[in-house]
Structure 1
Amino acid sequence: MKKRVLSLDVFRGATVAAMILVNNPGSWGHIYPPLEHAPWNGCTPTDLIFPFFIFIVGVSIVFSLQNKKSATEQLGTLMGKISKRAAILFLLGLLLALFPDFEFATVRIPGVLQRIAVVFLISSIIFLKTKFKTQGWIFGSLLIFYWMIMTIIPVPGVGHPNLEPETNLGAWIDRTLITEAHLWKSSKTWDPEGILSTIPAISTCLAGVLTAQWLLRKNYSTETNLLGIISAGAIAVLLALVWDPMFPINKSLWTSSYVLYAGGLAAVAFGILYWMIDVKEKKKLTAPFVAFGVNAITVFFLSGIIAKSMNTIKISSGNEDVALKTFLYESYFRPYFTELNASLAWAICFVSVWFLILWIMYKRNIIIKV
């Protein structure tokens, strides 16, 4: 049986737990700044969560497909499995967007799981069809290409290239091809997981693909490989900061500098975790994160369904019907904390409940594979 890379499960688990935490505050009007996205340019800790997860997807691609890459006679079957998994992820994303009203006429088509599906499919094909050096060239070329089209091509109806929320080229493409009815409801005119910004998101996944292959180099020691990964991550962060004045670090646009910044930090984090957990075998307190990590997609999807359900289910409170979440939050959290701390306490409680569920699944070796 193939040995799991414990540090990767820990990294994935910590990332998805953070996803659930920031997605479920008690009140969207009371959130500590590090738990919010940057208004536009810039990067908060919350802005690192999604690219970290996509980076992890890239690392996972190598660990799961490395030994199958040379079996060319089975490539068709393997591609079928990869395509099926990507389709399931995309459909789960659409289902999450549809729930609970199932308004197909206005369902948001882009989304987190949808982007994961697309970058997983394309990155897997690139990994299977090309070698390390070519993958590196593709990684860099996509970043340069995206930078050029976003800063050189005039935006139809605007007349000049720009990086503003509603008037950049990506927003125009989203409105033209997806239409405003199927975009992010908070903006309606652009989408943070839109079509054009998926191009650099592929590079984020390829960063994970490249990192994993570097780690598995056989002619060098693990320590040497890890030093290279951590050094490359640090250099990527520096390059991102140099690039930032020309092409600002921006999650919503998934700018090339953002790819280098988040990808560099992800590489450093993974390198350190691998050294501590898989090399030095410091495994104390890793189990809670592993419980999240082995069922990451499952808990992300189900937590979204439950959160929406709690806003849909109505119960009587005084002279009116209120959402179940509102009732619980106003009754058991808001009276006992400050506004910010009540909101955070709800999010922590929500994550903790899911931990208990995942812990039981983990102890019973229940892993739901998507």
Structure 2
Amino acid sequence: MKVIPSQRLESLDILRGLDLFLLVFLQPVLMSVGQIWDNPAYHSMLTQFEHEAWEGFRLWDLIMPLFLFMTGITIPFSLDRKIGKDSPDVYRHIIRRFLILWILGMIVQGNLLAFDWKVLRLYSNTLQAIATGYLITSLAYLHFSFKKLIGMGLSLLIIYSIPMSTWGGYEPNYNFAIYLDKMFLQNFMDGVKWQGDEWVFS
């Protein structure tokens, strides 16, 4: 019997499985154990499964960047191997994946299934960020050479770092990123809650 080689990158599947395992199983189980087991060493370990408030780094802070990394690393494999960069289907594939991620984000974090306009959030954080990054990066990958992609990445990093380091510093509520969020996202910003008859930033 002829074995057809898989086109999937198994190392990426393992990394994706590990990330999902941490997110949907291991962390909830460990936290549940911590609620009934009062052990200082165990609770000290549990801090690695919570986000750092601001300064510092914990294991849990890797979850979101890993998803972004995996989304980006799949682009050459999915667009080159499965579809082909010159195929007219490639744009349909990109838009479909973008819309699926965006709508799933609205279901999970944007209160879409509540069917209540007052609590609906068109943009609600993680999955929309992944969807947007995937859309922009995929289009750039299709139309730019490798050198231009490297140049674009470095340019964006430098352009973003300048206002971040000069516009109010890196305080939690007084930095360039939070300024842009409040200007463009407004009531769709992560952490905004509906209170009474207005949106309140927490």
| TM-score normalised to structure 2 length | 0.76
Cα deviation 1:60-102 (Å, max 9, x = unaligned): 111111244452xx24x31122012101210110122205634
For residues 176 and 105 of structure 1, the distance between their equivalents in structure 2, rounded to whole angstroms, comes to 20
Paired residue for 2:40? Answer: none
Asked if the contact 2:23–2:63 (Cα under 8 Å) also holds between the matched residues in 1, the reply is yes
Correspondent of 2:117 among 93, 104, 113: 104
Asked if the contact 2:51–2:60 (Cα under 8 Å) also holds between the matched residues in 1, the reply is yes
CA shift at 1:7, angstroms?
Answer: 1.2
The 1:65/1:86 distance shift into structure 2, 3 A limit, reads same
The 1:145/1:164 distance shift into structure 2, 3 A limit, reads same
For residues 93 and 181 of structure 2, the distance between their equivalents in structure 1, rounded to whole angstroms, comes to 29
Letter in 2 for 1:11: L
Asked if the contact 1:106–1:182 (Cα under 8 Å) also holds between the matched residues in 2, the reply is no
Q: Secondary structure at the match of 2:190?
A: coil
CA shift at 1:189, angstroms?
Answer: 3.4
Letter in 1 for 2:14: V
Paired residue for 2:196? Answer: none
For residues 61 and 50 of structure 2, the distance between their equivalents in structure 1, rounded to whole angstroms, comes to 8
| TM-score normalised to structure 1 length | 0.44
Correspondent of 2:183 among 176, 181, 189: 176
Paired residue for 1:333? Answer: none
Letter in 1 for 2:92: G
Letter in 2 for 1:10: I
CA shift at 1:14, angstroms?
Answer: 0.5
Asked if the contact 1:22–1:46 (Cα under 8 Å) also holds between the matched residues in 2, the reply is no
CA shift at 1:119, angstroms?
Answer: 0.7
Cα deviation 1:215-241 (Å, max 9, x = unaligned): xxxxxxxxxxxxxxxxxxxxxxxxxxx
Paired residue for 1:238? Answer: none
**Structure 1 residue 20 corresponds to structure 2 residue 32:** no
CA shift at 1:27, angstroms?
Answer: 9.1
**Structure 1 residue 6 corresponds to structure 2 residue 10:** yes
Correspondent of 2:104 among 63, 68, 92: 92
CA shift at 1:185, angstroms?
Answer: 3.1
Asked if the contact 2:84–2:90 (Cα under 8 Å) also holds between the matched residues in 1, the reply is no
CA shift at 1:176, angstroms?
Answer: 2.3
Paired residue for 1:116? Answer: 130
Q: Secondary structure at the match of 1:178?
A: helix
CA shift at 1:178, angstroms?
Answer: 2.0
Q: How do 1:53-68 residues align onto structure 2 when only pairs under 5 Å count?
A: 53-67=67-81, 68=83
The 1:99/1:69 distance shift into structure 2, 3 A limit, reads closer
Letter in 2 for 1:103: D
For residues 47 and 70 of structure 1, the distance between their equivalents in structure 2, rounded to whole angstroms, comes to 34
Asked if the contact 1:12–1:56 (Cα under 8 Å) also holds between the matched residues in 2, the reply is yes
For residues 28 and 164 of structure 1, the distance between their equivalents in structure 2, rounded to whole angstroms, comes to 31
Paired residue for 1:127? Answer: 141
For residues 44 and 131 of structure 1, the distance between their equivalents in structure 2, rounded to whole angstroms, comes to 36
RMSD over aligned CA atoms reads 2.7
For residues 139 and 94 of structure 1, the distance between their equivalents in structure 2, rounded to whole angstroms, comes to 28
Paired residue for 2:197? Answer: none
Q: How do 1:263-282 residues align onto structure 2 when only pairs under 5 Å count?
A: none
Paired residue total:
179
Higher relative contact order (CA 8 A, sep 6+): 1
Identical-residue share of aligned pairs (%): 27
CA shift at 1:46, angstroms?
Answer: 0.7
Cα deviation 1:280-333 (Å, max 9, x = unaligned): xxxxxxxxxxxxxxxxxxxxxxxxxxxxxxxxxxxxxxxxxxxxxxxxxxxxxx
CA shift at 1:113, angstroms?
Answer: 1.0
Asked if the contact 1:58–1:123 (Cα under 8 Å) also holds between the matched residues in 2, the reply is yes
Paired residue for 1:323? Answer: none
CA shift at 1:21, angstroms?
Answer: 3.9
Which runs of no fewer than 5 residues in structure 1 stay unpaired?
Answer: 155-160, 191-370
Which runs of no fewer than 5 residues in structure 2 stay unpaired?
Answer: 37-42, 194-199
Q: Secondary structure at the match of 2:114?
A: coil
CA shift at 1:29, angstroms?
Answer: 8.2
**Structure 1 residue 166 corresponds to structure 2 residue 179:** no
